[in-house]
Amino acid sequence: MQDKTTAMALDGLVVLDLSRILAGPTATQLLGDLGATVIKIENPRTGGDDTRGWGPPYAALADGDRGDLSAYFMSANRNKQSVAADLGTEEGRDLVTALAARADVVIENYKPGGLVKFGLDHETLLSRHPGLVYCSISGFGQQGPNRDKPGYDLMAQGYGGIMSLTGAPDGPPMKVGVGIADVMCGMYASVGILAALRHRDRTGEGQHIDLSLVDTQMSWLINEGTNFLTSGVPPQRRGNAHPNIVPYEVFEAWDGHVIVAVGNDAQFARFCDVFDAAHLATDPAYATNSARLANRDALIAILRPLVAARPVDWTVAQLESVKVPVGPINDVEQALNSDQAHARAMTVDIEAPETAAGHVRLLGNPLKLSRTPVQYRRPPPRFGADTDMVRDMLEQDGSTKGS
């Protein structure tokens, strides 16, 4: 565990988290890692965040019970307090309204308009607390013809175009292996919240942030999206090949698979030398990247047997020695147990006394800040674990009733 006395970038910031599943929790976990106090509201009628039941696997508890700490839930909910509150009751609404009065940030992922009946929508809370930063995440955003449709990661990947680019050229559209639309939406939410806080700190003025899974997914179509906007030609699935660079893909080797990522003509020449095919680098059909793109199929047909005749370790060692980008394809076990992952603290053990092991092992935060480092202060909470503490805090300052 880290030194918890070290200053953190978001010390003193209070975040009221009305979100669940992945996009919102990803954003609030990041804010919590950076020092914010995150109060997660969970509905006792449903047993809390939906993902508490998205297992196995679960972290085994010391009492032998399965418990509610699924691996999925733990992936996005450390550094948070869990408060059980039912917005369908006056008591629950009063509690959350009182917390909103103390918060710097509110983040929610209800359907657009879904919090109006509780008096917890952005218009109501911003009228009461003009300095509040209020972030809404939904499937399609607060406006538009699809405003009222539900949004899940898979649907966003389908609607936003990324599935049409993912998978084998002759196969069906394929989703990315993790909930990347949710995760990236959470990243954009974090950036938007920090930008809005910067504005609030300068002017005292809060604001509403409107984010959708589909909007954010479209935004990270990156070069493929801009390829279409520039050419008018919809891009197609290419499997592991790159739309603008050749050779830049996965090759089958003698004993496995290897990634080759040739980024310029000089690298291509060195690649050809390694495989005793220097003539390819001077052939006008392949000498430049533009030529290689135009003659992709013919070139790849030449290169595949050259790579297939060598083992992975030989290819990696030889290409690395001449500074041609190359690498293996690790499975998750190999990646997370690698020396590089260890050196970069990309897995962390967090004390969790209620678990059988006394700790949980989670993915680390990739941010390495020299002055205000990320800290792992709290394990993912049991459902409602902090309800009494938060109620006592509010009663002490007389704010158990809404403001």
**pLDDT, tens digit, 9 for 90 and up, residues 213-227:** 999 999 999 999 999
**120-141 average pLDDT score:** 98
Identify the residue whose tokens are 């918890």. 4
Read off the pTM: 0.93
pLDDT at 130: 98
pLDDT band at 1 (very low <50, low <70, confident <90, very high): very low
Average pLDDT value over all residues in the chain: 96
Q: Which positions are annotated as active-site residues?
A: 182
125, pLDDT greater than 90: yes
Q: Are 327 and 259 in contact (CB under 8 A)?
A: yes
Rounded Cα distance, 2 and 168, in Å: 44
What pLDDT digit, counting tens, does each position of 241-261 carry? 999 999 999 999 999 999 999
What pLDDT digit, counting tens, does each position of 373-397 carry? 999 999 999 999 999 999 999 998 8
> Which residue type occupies 280?
L
Q: Are 299 and 283 in contact (CB under 8 A)?
A: no
402, pLDDT greater than 50: no
pLDDT at 403: 43
Distance of CA 397 to the CA centre of its chain: 37
Rounded Cα distance, 16 and 40, in Å: 6
Rounded Cα distance, 213 and 154, in Å: 10
**299-316 average pLDDT score:** 97
The closest of 6, 44, 10 to 27, measured between CA atoms, is 10
User: Residue 215, SS3?
Assistant: helix
What pLDDT digit, counting tens, does each position of 137-169 carry? 999 999 999 999 988 999 999 999 999 999 999
